[in-house]
Amino acid sequence: MNSLPERSGMDRRALAAASVTVVLWASAFVSIRACADYFEPGALALGRLLTGSVALVCLLVAKRGGVPPRKAWPGIAASGVFWFGVYMVVLNWGEQLVDAGTASMIVNVGPMVIALLGGWFLKEGFPPLLLAGMAVSFVGAVVVGFSTSGGGSSSILGLALCLLAAVAYGCGVVFQKPALRHATPMQVTTYGCLIGAVACLPFSGQLVTDLSKAPLSATLNVVYLGLFPTALAFSTWAYALSRTTAGKMGATTYAVPAVVILISWIALDEVPGWVTLLGGAICLSGVAVSRMPGFRRRGPEEVVVPPAPAEARTAVKTPDQPVETGGTDGSGL
């Protein structure tokens, strides 16, 4: 009797967690852009990950989260390297060359990457709509590239880096989802962030140099990135991902570009041009097409079993009818 309300409540909590993630990740694009003049990509990623790791470890210890089981470690390690490490470095680099709104639109090809990798590695197949969505998004990426290049190569490089970040994001989700079957969201997030920080340790010298020169506002932006878009947002993401599919969670990030453009317009007075917005809309349209439910065809070998007659479905046993049991204990098993 209580199962339905409980499940409904769980869905609401997952939706609320996903909403927090969307808003905080959108703010991250703007904060990264604001730090671009003061921190190198690797240094910014390391500063963000170290801050997030400290916060997450303190929370894990306070909650007595413990250590993940052995089966969870491959997924945690892979997601830590790809998502917390490669994704953050490459995205920081890309945002030095393109504006925050453009970067967020290109990175949101990630849900399609998740579907593609799921079909490849998880043997889920390649539906025609997925291939069609890839083609549409490729056209959108080309439009964005031409609109931002201005005859040079720096924006094309920024576009390529954002696409690489989308691939790293997709890999991170595909690796993280299996880990959540064996470990808690807190464990997966905390140890993934720690692994990402370790992977970025080669940038520690650059981080020290940048911190010594950066203004206080830029340093506070790094702290903000570590505490909120990393520690909090990745935790709420893992919480929601553990309660739904990777594809549905990827779809929630469709709203990120709109939030990014609004925040960057207010905070940075930075809005992509109309052609860039058109290209971004085409990219997201491709993602939407790739995530549309397909139609399943019934093969010739499949047999349709007709429903049982109404009187057979509604028959009620009388006391005169013997009750057959399949076991010696009378359980019917």
Q: b/e per residue, 62-90, with b = 16+ CB within 10 A?
A: eeebeebeeebbebbbbbbbbbbbbbbbb
Q: What is the pLDDT of residue 194?
A: 98
Among residues 19, 5, 8, 7, the alpha carbon closest in space to that of 240 is found at 19
What residue segments make up the domains of the chain, in order of their start? 11-293
**Residues 168/83, Cβ–Cβ less than 8 Å:** yes
Contacts 24+ apart (CB under 8 A), 322-329: none
Helix, coil or strand: residue 152: coil
Inter-helix orientation angle 204-213/41-62, to 10°: 100
Q: Which residues contact 99 (CB under 8 A, 6 or more apart)?
A: 33, 264, 270, 271, 272
Amino acid in the structure at residue 285: S
Local mean pLDDT, 10-residue blocks, the chain (333 residues)? 38 82 91 94 98 97 95 96 96 91 80 73 66 74 64 70 92 89 95 97 97 96 97 92 68 67 78 77 74 49 40 43 40 35
Amino acid in the structure at residue 283: C
Q: What is the pLDDT of residue 287?
A: 67
| Distance separating alpha carbons of residues 246 and 105, to the nearest angstrom | 19
